[in-house]
Amino acid sequence: MSTPYAKLPRWVDYGLIPAINLAVAFFVAGLVVMLVGENPLSAAVILVDGAFGGGQNIAYTLFYATNFIFTGLAVAVAFHGGLFNIGGEGQAYIAGLGVAIVALSLDSVFPWWINFPIAILASAAVGAFWAFIPAYLQAKRGSHIVITTIMFNFIAASTMVYMLVDVLKPAGSMAPQTRTFLDGAHLPKLNWLLEAVGLSVRSAPLNITFLLALVMAFLVWLLIWRTKLGYEIRTFGYSPKAARYAGIREARIIIVTMVISGALAGMMALNPIMGDQHRVALDFVTGAGFVGIAVALMGRSHPAGIVPAAILFGMLYQGGAELAFEMPNISRDMIVIIQGLVILFAGALEHMFRPWVQTVFATLAPRAAGVPATSGEGA
């Protein structure tokens, strides 16, 4: 028997319910803050102020959000195809090689606006390749993609250590990282964008990759909801049997979907490497691949949800750092707890408050909440 979920107005589905979930997450997080003897209200103030309390803070928040938009989109595209790509972390990490090759070989040759498109292609190609192997193994050999993508995270990490220590490190340097890029591989900052609305930014890493992320969010929307390929991906994701019936080839969809997903994850490497550090260092992904899973869950795999969800997580990263600095009792680990609570309530317990909201709406406006949604499942 199917659970007869009635239709709710769109703004409730996509606005009110996530807001309630978020509020509860912060409430519980507040209890945790109280537990360590700090005032949850002032903690909240520090957190929000740290994330949005000035041009500088906003720029940092958006810088982190950029990473999460890419990885969130990557996970979301795979979700639509019924695939769980846990390998965003590894795909982004290894894609750093693609960026490195372009930047190291061309930074003295071309200006940034020629190198940037080439680096986009290179990062996407390497990320896509890293996702292609697990996809091929699933499509042709039946190896489960969750397992293989996790394993490929480890392979990527080891490969990068080897590359940075033994291949890319300049002779005589002590640090496992590439040389610093020349100006030809520095991406322009977006400080002017914030300054245009009257905010002041001292120095923040927010750069043009943020705009690339927004363009990708639009392209993902176009792909999933407006193209034939997107239709096939969604059909396969909801029901492989229906896809088979409709003449959609399973192996092709698995591989194409994962390649797109990997390419999106790969582009994340551009942001810290060419936009901020101007070199490839160890662990530059710093968990963004995994946060992408939470972002996709919270954003309901829709770009219009993923961008705000990514900004929310950017806020937790940036505001959390400030919080740990201002309140010594609250360590970085506490921030991770708060992030975990947000994921728990927004992602895993998504439907916890839904029946309750439905009942409220049914009582307030019986017509708007929809008449009996009898589904055809055998009565």
Partner 1 sequence: MAEAAIELIGIDKSFGPVRANRDIHLEVPRGTIHGIIGENGAGKSTLMSILYGFYQADSGEIKVGGKPTAIKSPNDAIAVGIGMVHQHFMLVENFTVIENVILGAEGEALLNTSIAKARSELHRLEKEYGLEVDPDAVIEELPVGLQQRVEILKALYRGAEILILDEPTGVLTPAEADHLFRILRQLKEQGKTIVLITHKLREIMAITDNVSVMRQGTMVATRATARTTVEELAELMVGRRVLLRVEKGPARPGDVKLDVSGLTVKDSRGVTMVDGVSFNVRAGEIVGIAGVAGNGQSELLEAISGIRKAVAGKVLLDGSPVDVSGLTDPGDLRDRGLAHVPEDRHHVGLVLPFEENENSILGYHDEDQYVNGPFLDIPAILKSAESQIEKYDIRPPNPRLKTANFSGGNQQKIVLAREMEQDPGVLIVGQPTRGVDVGAIEFIHKRLIAMRDAGKAVLLVSVELDEIRSLSDRILVMFAGRVVGERGPDATEGELGLLMAGVEEKEAAE
At residue 92, the 3 state secondary structure works out as helix
Cα–chain center distance at 221: 15
Site membership for partner 1, residue 169 (CB under 8 A): no
Site membership for partner 1, residue 36 (CB under 8 A): no
C-alpha 375/C-alpha 70 separation (Å) is 37
C-alpha 98/C-alpha 117 separation (Å) is 12
Site membership for partner 1, residue 37 (CB under 8 A): no
Find the shortest distance in angstroms from Cβ 124 to partner 1: 18
At residue 301, the 3 state secondary structure works out as coil
One residue of 113, 154, 245, 325 binding partner 1 per CB under 8 A: 245
One residue of 135, 152, 241, 272 binding partner 1 per CB under 8 A: 241
With beta carbons less than 8 A apart as the criterion, state whether 220 and 76 touch: yes
At residue 1, the 3 state secondary structure works out as coil
Q: Which is nearer to partner 1, 108 or 375 (CB)?
A: 375
Find the shortest distance in angstroms from Cβ 365 to partner 1: 10
CA end-to-end span of the chain:
7
One residue of 114, 238, 340, 351 binding partner 1 per CB under 8 A: 238
Site membership for partner 1, residue 140 (CB under 8 A): no
Q: Where are the alpha helices (DSSP H) in 137-199?
A: 145-162, 191-196
Write the single-letter amino acid at 270. L
Site membership for partner 1, residue 218 (CB under 8 A): no
Q: Which is nearer to partner 1, 4 or 170 (CB)?
A: 4
At residue 249, the 3 state secondary structure works out as coil
Site membership for partner 1, residue 375 (CB under 8 A): yes
Site membership for partner 1, residue 325 (CB under 8 A): no
Q: Which is nearer to partner 1, 180 or 359 (CB)?
A: 359
At residue 88, the 3 state secondary structure works out as helix
Site membership for partner 1, residue 4 (CB under 8 A): yes
One residue of 23, 41, 109, 226 binding partner 1 per CB under 8 A: 226
Site membership for partner 1, residue 144 (CB under 8 A): no
One residue of 140, 144, 244, 332 binding partner 1 per CB under 8 A: 244
Site membership for partner 1, residue 359 (CB under 8 A): yes
Site membership for partner 1, residue 7 (CB under 8 A): yes
Q: Which is nearer to partner 1, 308 or 370 (CB)?
A: 370
C-alpha 313/C-alpha 346 separation (Å) is 12
Phi then psi for 207, rounded to 5 degrees? -140, -175
With beta carbons less than 8 A apart as the criterion, state whether 72 and 309 touch: yes
Q: Which is nearer to partner 1, 38 or 232 (CB)?
A: 232
Stretch that binds partner 1, among 140-148, 233-241, 253-261, 294-302 (CB under 8 A): 233-241
Q: Which is nearer to partner 1, 137 or 248 (CB)?
A: 248
With beta carbons less than 8 A apart as the criterion, state whether 145 and 139 touch: no
Q: Provide the angle, in degrees to the nearest 10, between the axes of the packed helices 145-162 and 88-106.
A: 30
Residue that the structure tokens 């979301």 belong to = 76
C-alpha 63/C-alpha 78 separation (Å) is 24
Instruction: Summarize as ranges the residues that interact with partner 1 (CB under 8 A).
Output: 1-7, 226-229, 231-232, 234-235, 238-239, 241-242, 244-249, 355, 358-359, 361-362, 366, 369-370, 372-379
